[in-house]
Structure 1
Amino acid sequence: MDFVRYAERSAGLVNADLGDTDHLIHFLDERQWLHAAVAERDAGALRRFVKDLRPVFEASNAGDEHAVVALLNALLAKHPVTPYIAGHEPGRWHMHVADRDSSVSELLIAESLMGLSTLVCDLGATRLGVCDASGCTHVFVDTSPNQSRRYCSDRCSSRANVAAYRARQRAASA
């Protein structure tokens, strides 16, 4: 299992528009095998989960490691993960974070929680952030070697850098 990818997907989940099943299917664009299993209740369950998950990113962004761990532990207790070993070919065993009877929302919640929990244990509890760009509230996962990420995307980073440059130019010419 690629837990960093699961953690990054959890940030995408927090940032996603999950207004209805069509929006959820759009979010799952790269995972088309899940589309047929999406049910109306999945979008609602994920919207509720995201409200509980966002504070984890905010606590990490604030450097509050104890809050990150407490919030994740509370979410793990609320949404128990039931991993299982699967094999699609003889001798090629691997783990799934949710059993085959799980709904799409249960799968995405399990992936998010396992990804974030593993990331916190492996890289630290302050690797999650909220974009520094003015007007942006998106979250992100920082896997940079020096933990220096401040923006959710290159677009936000560029806009913030251009704005700072223009502000310096105005200050220099004043």
Structure 2
Amino acid sequence: MGIGPALTDEEADQLADVAAELHPAFTGASDAVAMLNKCLIRHAAVPNLHGDPPVLAFHRPGADRVDAWAADAATALAMVIGVGQGVRLRSCDASGCDLVFFDVTRNASRRFCGVSCQNRAKASAYRARRRA
């Protein structure tokens, strides 16, 4: 699809809704798979080759940006879960952070989205211990 014009406010709102819809896949929610399947259907995720040179995409040719991005993201999450790596889809443990990530550590033990959140959480825990 390439880089095109900036997202419209409506597209940004729609993609925020898609992100909220996909978020349970990162938290291990019991209904995550069902919600992911609904998203795949709603945004017509279907593997195909299109473009010149051909690229593998998971949205129909000519799909609008919201459907294209939603279908591709939902398919990527479904593939991760489908190969048994869903446990690596994580949500940041830091208070007030709602970012998600794919844990690439050897033992799937990562808890924070990045060093900033990790440092804030550790500093906060240290201050709490000092007060007690």
Same fold? TM cut 0.5 = yes
d(CA) in 2 for partners of 1:166 and 1:38?
42
Instruction: Identify the residue that residue 106 of structure 1 maps to in structure 2.
Output: 67
1:39 Cα deviation from its structure 2 partner:
4.5
Which of 24, 29, 34 is the matching residue for 1:55?
24
d(CA) in 2 for partners of 1:113 and 1:143?
20
d(CA) in 1 for partners of 2:61 and 2:6?
11
Q: Is the 1:42–1:103 Cα contact (8 Å) retained in structure 2? A: no
The one-letter amino acid paired with 1:155 is: S
Q: Is the 1:127–1:141 Cα contact (8 Å) retained in structure 2? A: yes
Give the direction of change, closer, same or farther, for the CA distance of 1:70–1:143 in structure 2 (3 Å limit). Answer: farther
- Note the aligned Cα RMSD (angstroms): 2.6
Instruction: Identify the residue that residue 100 of structure 2 maps to in structure 1.
Output: 139
Alignment of 1:1-174 (within 5 A): 33-36=2-5, 38-58=7-27, 60=28, 64=29, 66-86=30-50, 88-89=52-53, 94-168=55-129, 170=130
Give the direction of change, closer, same or farther, for the CA distance of 1:99–1:71 in structure 2 (3 Å limit). Answer: closer
d(CA) in 2 for partners of 1:100 and 1:123?
29
SS of structure 1 residue aligned to 2:34: helix
| Count of residues in Structure 1 that have an aligned counterpart in Structure 2 | 132
SS of structure 2 residue aligned to 1:50: helix
Give the direction of change, closer, same or farther, for the CA distance of 1:97–1:137 in structure 2 (3 Å limit). Answer: same
101-110 vs 71-80, which moves further? 71-80
d(CA) in 1 for partners of 2:106 and 2:55?
28
Give the direction of change, closer, same or farther, for the CA distance of 1:108–1:87 in structure 2 (3 Å limit). Answer: closer
Select the structure that is richer in helix.
1
Identity of aligned residues (%): 32
d(CA) in 1 for partners of 2:13 and 2:125?
39
Unmatched tracts of structure 1, length 5 or more: 1-30
